[in-house]
Amino acid sequence: MIEFEYWQLLLFPLFFGLGWAAARIDIRHLVKESRALPRSYFQGLNFLLNEQPDRAIEAFVEAVKVDPQTVELHFALGSLFRRRGETDRAIRMHQNLIEREDLKQDLKLQALAELGQDYLKAGLLDRAEEVFDKLRYSELAESAKRNLLEIYQLEKDWEKAIAIASELPDFASHKEVAEYYCELAAAEMMRSRRDLAAVYLDTALERNRKCVRASLLQGDIQLQQDQPLAAIESWQRIEQQDPTYLALVAQRLLDAFRKLDRREEGLQLLRGYLEHYPSLDLLDVVFQLVLEGDGAEAAYKLVRDELKRNPTLLGFDKLLAAKLLFASPDSRPDLELAKGIVQTYTRRLARYRCDNCGFKARQFYWRCPACGGWETYSPKRTEEFDLTP
């Protein structure tokens, strides 16, 4: 048992006295700091509490003018202006911080990074690139390189994008790097430099053996070089890479088989694809083939059977179009009326949609124009996409 000495009671007043003194010092320090803050700062807080954000911002701006030492307020306002789209004000706010000689180095780097974001948001890509290039070997190198990668993609400078991606192995995936090589290949194909384009596509497949776009473009080059068999082989490879993309090469396969005068073989291949990998775009190509070779009634039967397997409004629209090809004059007006009604709904269903952000477009994109994601568009139409388990 611990023994208690009466003299220890004398220590309690001392402890209370020390605590009271410490509290007094803290309170005095707090009061001193609050008095040092400009009046407009408290006005801004009051406006915020009263849900008047615009007046609060102007009050905080005034506080920054009165007391330039409010560094954190500078950063907060700069970020707020950028989010509101007032990039010119954000740029001025961060430039003021950078120009201050008394600012610590780490805060200057932070201000420089914020300025780069301002330029990027304003679309001033050359200035943003210059800023992030300065930060490339600083403590903020990782973030700077990521921003540079985004800039190079926006500028379509794919060689620089490939170079910076090699410094970001945990951020830039093999899929994305393969797409950069495909972009280079597509540009060379536009210039009719097919040999160089082929080299880029080989590299794309080395980076990502499942790169559908590389196989698709390889087939395009081979068909242009009058090598239809090689082109067919390249496009057939897509079945192992991702069969949902076969819809994108269905018409190409048909053209190649026609060039070889092997239309029936091409029809059988595409029918097999349609049976195993249902797609409205595949159905369109097979429908045209059957219509040309076997007539309107056979084409109608094809669409009807496919509609039974995969019921969609887009498929029903195709069924009505097929029926109209051999309809009697008496039934034609009713069919046309029904087709017109269905089409009012199918127009918005016949779009492609980004898996990442949901952005819809009439045409297929390898890179989403909204969120910038690579290979985020399903080659299926919106209605098919919604019905996919």
Q: For 184-239, what is each residue's pLDDT tens digit?
A: 999 999 999 999 999 999 999 999 999 999 999 999 999 999 999 999 999 999 99
Q: For 257-284, what is each residue's pLDDT tens digit?
A: 999 999 889 989 998 998 898 888 888 8
Contact 213, 226 (CB under 8 A): no
Q: How far is CA 71 from CA 60, 101, 107, in A?
A: 12, 13, 9
Q: For 121-170, what is each residue's pLDDT tens digit?
A: 999 999 999 999 999 989 999 999 999 999 999 999 999 999 999 999 88
Contacts with 360 (C-beta within 8 Å, 6 or more apart), sequence order? 351, 352, 353, 354, 382
Q: What is the residue extent of each domain of the chain? A: 351-389
Q: How far is CA 215 from CA 25, 202, 210, 282, 384, in A?
A: 74, 9, 9, 18, 24
Provide the pLDDT for residue 73.
Answer: 67
- Mean pLDDT of all residues in the chain? 79
Q: For 111-120, what is each residue's pLDDT tens digit?
A: 899 899 999 9
Structure tokens at 20: 């009271």
Q: What is the 3-state secondary structure (H, E, C) of 214-256?
A: HHHHHHHHHHHCCCHHHHHHHHHCHHHHCHHHHHHHHHHHHHH
Q: Is 208 exposed, middle or buried (0-12, 13-18, 19+ CB in 10 A)?
A: buried
From CA 199, how far away is CA 185, in angstroms rounded? 8
Question: Is the pTM value of this prediction over 0.85?
Answer: no
Report, as an integer, the average pLDDT of 40-53: 45
From CA 331, how far away is CA 372, in angstroms rounded? 48
How many other CB atoms are found less than 10 A from the CB of residue 181? Answer: 26
From CA 84, how far away is CA 169, in angstroms rounded? 33
The answer, yes or no, to whether residue 26 has pLDDT greater than 60, is: no
